[in-house]
Amino acid sequence: MDLPLTGEPLALDLINTLGGSPDGPVDHLATVEGLLKWLRTQSHRLPQPDTPLTEADLAAVVDLREVVTAVVDRARRGVEPPGHALLALSEADRLASPYRTLGWEEGRVVVGAERGGDYRSALLSLLAGATIDLLAGPIGTVRDCEGPGCCMLFLPAHPRRRWCSPELCGNRVRVARYYRRHKP
């Protein structure tokens, strides 16, 4: 798989950069290049680095991913997350102060969320802030993909969605079902 599932709430996209896929475990943030590639897929909602990313930037994002995963995984099941993870998430949120940008598109004001500070602080605080929004919002409806071996998380827009991606897991399951039915 080239790229992880994207297009879910930012916190889930971050968690999904590390996961089992039907093809085995994949870490899309194993290298600085991997992080850069993932950031490009998020260019509509995350700032892009204007200087080269460092190993320290990568380590900081990976550490935050661990925290986000621990908190979301428990919170969505109604289990109390570890106190240190909640604290770390809140601290990351505070790394850079939030501000809103205002634009005008198609006859209405478009409000964007931004963060001040240096690139790494802005990135970490945006990821933490997006996670906190999810926790304060639709966390209870986050769902696991039902694909065998797949542990992607998604937020279903309609209650019947069962797969992270109909092309990947949905198809795989349909094909397997077809072969089971047509076994001689």
**Which chain residues interact with Zn ion by CB under 5 A?**
145, 147, 150, 152, 164, 169
State the amino acid at position 117 in one-letter form.
G
Distances (CA, A) of 152 to 15, 99, 121, 142: 8, 31, 27, 10
118 vs 146, which CB is nearer to Zn ion?
146
Nearest-approach distance from CB 85 to Zn ion, in angstroms = 25
67 vs 152, which CB is nearer to Zn ion?
152
Nearest-approach distance from CB 56 to Zn ion, in angstroms = 32
Nearest-approach distance from CB 156 to Zn ion, in angstroms = 13
59 vs 176, which CB is nearer to Zn ion?
176
85 vs 169, which CB is nearer to Zn ion?
169
Nearest-approach distance from CB 19 to Zn ion, in angstroms = 9
